[in-house]
Structure 1
């Protein structure tokens, strides 16, 4: 009996060791979400002070071109500080996409409710995303409708609103928003379409750029069709209703 007991004791040692190693692995898996959350906080905080060299959407578009064999394709992107962009463009973006931008904390529940009611009636689908949500998606994520992507978008939106001032959110947004296929930001759009710097954009040009934001690869700001023209006129009315460029001063 003594020898049998000794054998059983030694036979159980490898099992116990394996169980301990398994617990250690699960211990690290439990910490992984916390580590990723911490990295995202550091990422967002750093970009409050460092201008992004590219966005996730830019990287994805460049990869799509390479995968299609278009080796000559290059993303057009040229950062400009907010003071070097015509005030009419950020104002037009707010007038077109998020008129409650100055008041909400990342999510506009009223806009979401209106969008749901509109979409339930059929016709052209309308979104309820704020500028903060759109920036979170464009800068860090990918397009799509999965719950994972929407969850990450909500998380990054909360971080942007908590760690950045509104003025910085708007500045980065007008620099990374897509205004045409492969054309990102105010300066690239102004140079590509009108051969001028972003500081020289007129109110009409800014309104047309904002008008194509829902689908910049489908609509053209440079050669606007009837829908873009009507939307641009509506945006200019909203710009005046907001109080014109003086509205931007409340973000300072």
Structure 2
């Protein structure tokens, strides 16, 4: 029994400390591969290309329009929260069935944790792990690093990863030169990048990008100074 207790204790310590080590490394090392991309490679959708495209850039090389657009669209309380939106999580739990949560209510921090460290799944266990990583990232990385990693790993189309690759693919310009409208068009595809394209604009992208640019004006560039 004592050996079993020691084993359980060591296992719990490992479970708690291993994510901390991963997050500390992630603060300084740009991930060459991440959970979401690994899953796509191992279990590719029918329209997944034979080769993916990804170009990493620092946050300073990403247009402030793109930074603000993703906050305006995905998580307007990003500068203030601690990585999670507790009210949204409680609502998800309340509306979930026996198979786990049926929607995300995820902050940018949670989406980054999910993309980098985890795999797609709908379960309370995975959600709990995601929350743990999210809090660690807020404490260790800080907002600017979280936003930088998020903009570099999210998928903007089949096998098209990161804002730089997406900017060059859709507009033939670097991410540093994205206008507010172009940034809004790119961010508009995030709910379903396999069915929605930033350019040429569909009616949905036109309406969604118009809403995003309106939110950007209301938030203002001063939002980025809070990160």
Q: Quick check: which has more Rg, 1 or 2? A: 1
Structure 1 or 2: larger helix share? 1
Give distance in 1, aligned partners of 2:145 and 2:172: 26
Q: Aligned residue pairs: how many?
A: 222
User: Which of these residues, 47, 67, 73, is aligned with residue 96 of structure 1?
Assistant: 73
Give distance in 1, aligned partners of 2:3 and 2:41: 40
Alpha-carbon shift at residue 162 of structure 1 (Å): 1.3
Q: TM-score, normalised by structure 1?
A: 0.80
Highest RCO, 1 vs 2 (Cα 8 Å, sep ≥ 6): 2
User: Which of these residues, 160, 169, 184, is aligned with residue 192 of structure 1?
Assistant: 169
User: Which of these residues, 29, 36, 45, is aligned with residue 50 of structure 1?
Assistant: 29
Partner SS, residue 179 of structure 1: strand
Note if contact 1:58-1:75 (Cα within 8 Å) is conserved in structure 2: no
The aligned runs of 1:85-234 (5 Å cut-off) are 85-112=62-89, 127-234=104-211
**Which residue is equivalent to 1:15?**
none
Quick check: 1:235 aligned with 2:218? no
Alpha-carbon shift at residue 182 of structure 1 (Å): 1.1
Structure 2 unaligned segments of length 5 or more: list them: 97-101
RMSD of aligned Cα (Å)? 2.6
Note if contact 2:55-2:164 (Cα within 8 Å) is conserved in structure 1: yes
Partner SS, residue 156 of structure 2: strand
Quick check: 1:250 aligned with 2:203? no
Q: TM-score, normalised by structure 2?
A: 0.88
Q: Which range moves more in the overlay, 212-221 or 90-99?
A: 212-221
**Which residue is equivalent to 1:60?**
39
Structure 1 unaligned segments of length 5 or more: list them: 1-21, 120-124
Note if contact 1:174-1:185 (Cα within 8 Å) is conserved in structure 2: yes
Alpha-carbon shift at residue 204 of structure 1 (Å): 1.0
Give distance in 2, aligned partners of 1:98 and 1:162: 18
